[in-house]
Amino acid sequence: MERSLHDRDRVGVQDSVLLDNYRSEDAFLGNLKKRFKENIIYTYIGHVLVSVNPYKDLPIYGPKTIKEYRNTHIIENPPHVYAITEAAYNSLIEESQDQCILISGESGSGKTEASKKVLEYIAAVTDHRGQVQPVKEKLLQCNPVLEAFGNAKTTRNDNSSRFGKYMDIEFNSLGDPVGGNILNYLLEKSRVVGQNPGERNFHIFYQLLEGGEPELMEALHLTRKIDYYNYISKAGKDSKVGADGLNDARHLKEVCNAMTILGLSAREQGEILAIVASVLHLGNIDVSEQQGVAVLDNFAHIFAAAELLGCPEDVLRSALTHRTILARGDTVTSPLDRETAVYARDALAKAVYARLFSWLVQRFNKSLQPAARSKTARNHLMGILDIYGFEIFRHNSFEQFCINYCNEKLQQVFIKLTLQSEQEEYLKEGIEWEPVEYFDNNVIINLIEQKHKGIISLLDEECLRPGDTSDLTFLEKISEQLNQHEHFISHKKADNKTKKIMSREEFVLVHYAGEVTYDVNGFLDKNNDLLYRDLREMMSSTTNNIARVLFPKSELQSKKRPETAISQFKNSLNQLMSILMSKEPSYIRCIKPNDFKQAGVFSDEIVGHQVKYLGLMENLRVRRAGFAYRRQFEQFLQRYKSLCPKTWPSYKGPAKDGVRVLIQHLGYQPDEFRIGETKIFIRHPQTLFEIEDAFQAR
Ligand code: ATP
Ligand code: MG
């Protein structure tokens, strides 16, 4: 572990603000790299924690380290996710401020691992009276279940979260956790019915096949052959256990155990696994065509799916091959052709699975409700946000559009809160400062979500408009209306101006993090998120209790058109934004050191790219624009009082005066510092080095 600033040559600086050449990206990267090579994965930019994924287990976690960070100020120890958590927790208790810890970074950068460390720290340092053990246990057990159902192996990450998660922990006035609440965002449900080469479906499918006891397998009509099931066999040999360290069989036991701790009954667990199995069976129902009409083959799977969901076999068969439309009070039923029946089958599998996932979250929330809230003292919240990072794939679709839109929104929060709090601090402390230029991505957010004119409005319009609409008419529309926008490139503009090679089914958005080419194929369909009435009706009468509540009858009776997927997402994101803005934020910016999930490899290019788009250099400049360092008078005096005879062993009088005496003794030039209301501000890191070195050399 690094001990002092004396180690600078070997382990770089703990806080990038202390870099001499803070404007240079090379210097910033060099510092991260130097530290990474020494297995020091954490570095600060002021109070923002930068974390570089080591891809190996380091002995830097656990009870001993937690003890070292407990009750310390953030500057007293080397940077760590525990230090950020301690600071947030401390502020929650001492200042009664709601907190949120925002964890961002691209896939595989370590967000989920970081979020678990935050939770682990909170669990370790709370509950002095031993009264909230069950709550802590429940909070910790949500993760294994949510990961089983919401994570999957992708080319980027063996345990990639395919949903966004915001978890609030609720604390009583003693600072002990008494409950929690989880919000989940947009599960990537297309994965249920198909995956890219080398990727897997959600973990739970493999866990069930590998780990299910023989009686369970029999009851669910499953065989252990992964290759046998269409929805999960795409990954081929990659889906097997072993080489990847994915121990599916063991995980199933953990998942069931976690569900038990969370209060799910054996019956509920049975119904959940029955639904998971029914999805596998649905995938194996083959559809052929006779005279233009869809015919289902493979009776065994129709039978199994119907039994597990709890509906008559002929009802399932009919619902998968017919479509009933209500028109002016009349119902018209017509048979589906093969293609449409396959579409209907996949839509059912996706809907059942995604709704089951949301049901699980709701069920956990019920279990995490505080037993009783005090009428007099308000409880406080600490939120942890672990949400998908910016994605640029070779092929980007509706899902990437949603994810990247979400990241634009989060970047906006980051910009507002880091700049705003910096400005506010100078204002509050009565100190002049010089603003820093930064790119405000609001212009891109407008392009996406402006009423009537933005991409979301235009997409919804095309989804709702009767007549001959398609992905291409949508593309035509945005190309026409947004052609002038500086962050939008249509294939028309590309031909003329930028000479970009784009197909006629693509458009480009210039995101804050880079240009992304989106393929419009599937946009309307995914946004409409249509599930035929016959299937919803069938599901709402099933005897599997969980399956039935996933599709409430009220939904069928409602005259209102269901909200489109993107509108729902937009609304839930805006709610999330107001939640985050009402809390005191802490940031963890996660970085992936290479593309090969490999330990010890630090690619300048790959890290450099992330540093750029996470806005870390801007962040650093803002932090440095005024005064690089600031300390509460009391803390500053406490740490350095030994450097001046007049303040040692203690200063009798206000800390502010003590600080004045101390820095006069140290010979600070007037321009080098400012005395605010509660803090001393120091302009240059060098000044701090000198005093810190003197302190270390005492
Ligand atoms: P995604 O967006 O795909 O969900 P993520 O940012 O959540 O990605 P993680 O799942 O947290 O990424 O991390 C990916 C893998 O990297 C982990 O499974 C683990 O092997 C390794 N890893 C991440 N953080 C650490 C750490 N602090 N120490 C050791 N290994 C880590
Ligand atoms: Mg994750």
**What DSSP assignment string belongs to 304-325?**
HHHHHHT--HHHHHHHHHEEEE
Q: Identify the H or E element spanning 111.
A: helix 111-125
| Residue of 108, 150, 179, 454 marked catalytic | 108
Helices then strands, each counted (H, E), the chain: 28, 19
Q: Which of 165-179, 290-304, 495-509, 570-584 has the lowest mean pLDDT?
A: 495-509
Q: Is the CB of 43 under 6 A from ligand 1?
A: no
Cβ(642)–Cβ(695) under 8 Å?
yes
Higher confidence at residue 342 or residue 241? 342
More confident residue, 688 or 95: 95
Higher-scoring residue by pLDDT: 242, 261: 261
- If one residue of 113, 116, 160, 410 were mutated to test the ligand 1 pocket, choosing by the most ligand atoms within 8 A of its CB, it would be 113
Q: At what angle do helices 565-581 and 398-428 cross, to 10 degrees?
A: 20
| pLDDT at residue 120 is higher than 50 | yes
- 112 in ligand 1 pocket by Cβ < 6 Å? yes
Confidence of residue 539 (pLDDT cuts 50, 70, 90): very high
* CA 194 – ligand 2 centroid, Å: 20
Distance 627 CA to ligand 2 centre (A): 35
Residue 389 bears catalytic tag: yes
Tell me the CA–centroid distance for residue 386 and ligand 1, in Å.
12
pLDDT per position as a tens digit, 598-633: 999 999 999 999 998 888 998 888 877 777 678 889
Number of the ligand 1 atom closest to the C-alpha atom of 57:
29
Q: Say if residue 649 is preceded by a cis peptide, omega within 30 of 0.
A: yes
Which residue is catalytic, options 90, 107, 441, 517? 107
Query: Long-range contacts made by residues 652-659, C-beta under 8 angstroms, separation at least 24?
Result: 658/633, 659/633
Output the pLDDT for position 125: 96
Q: What's the CA-to-centroid distance between 370 and ligand 2, angstroms?
A: 27
Contact residues for 204 (Cβ-Cβ < 8 A; gap 6+): 148, 149, 255, 276
Q: What is the ipTM, given to two decimal places?
A: 1.00
Query: Is the model's pLDDT at 482 over the cut of 80?
Result: yes
Whether 108 lines ligand 1, by a CB cut-off of 6 Å, is yes
Query: Given this model, what pLDDT does residue 1 score?
Result: 42
Q: Per the structure block, which two tokens stand in for 599?
A: 């330990």
Q: Which residues place a Cβ less than 5 A from the ion ligand 2?
A: 111-112, 161
Q: CA-to-CA distance for 191 and 516, rounded, in angstroms? A: 21
| Residue 242 reports pLDDT greater than 50 | no
Please tell me the pTM assigned to this model.
Answer: 0.90
112, 172, 441, 647: which one is catalytic?
112
Any ligand 1 atom below 6 A from CB of 627: no
Which ligand 1 atom lies nearest to the CA of residue 81?
Answer: 27
Residue 650 is among the residues annotated as catalytic for this protein = no
- Residue 110 beta carbon below 6 angstroms from any ligand 1 atom: yes
pLDDT score recorded for residue 318? 97
Q: 448 or 467: whose pLDDT is higher?
A: 448
From 16, 53, 151, 160, the catalytic residue: 160
pLDDT one-digit tens code per residue, 180-234:
999 999 999 999 999 988 899 999 999 999 999 999 999 999 999 999 999 998 7
**Which 3-state string (H, E, C) describes 2-64?**
CCCHHHHHHHCCCEHHHCCCCCCHHHHHHHHHHHHHCCCCEEEECCEEEEECCCCCCCCCCHH
Summarised one tens digit per residue, pLDDT across range 355-383 is 999 999 999 999 999 987 777 778 999 99
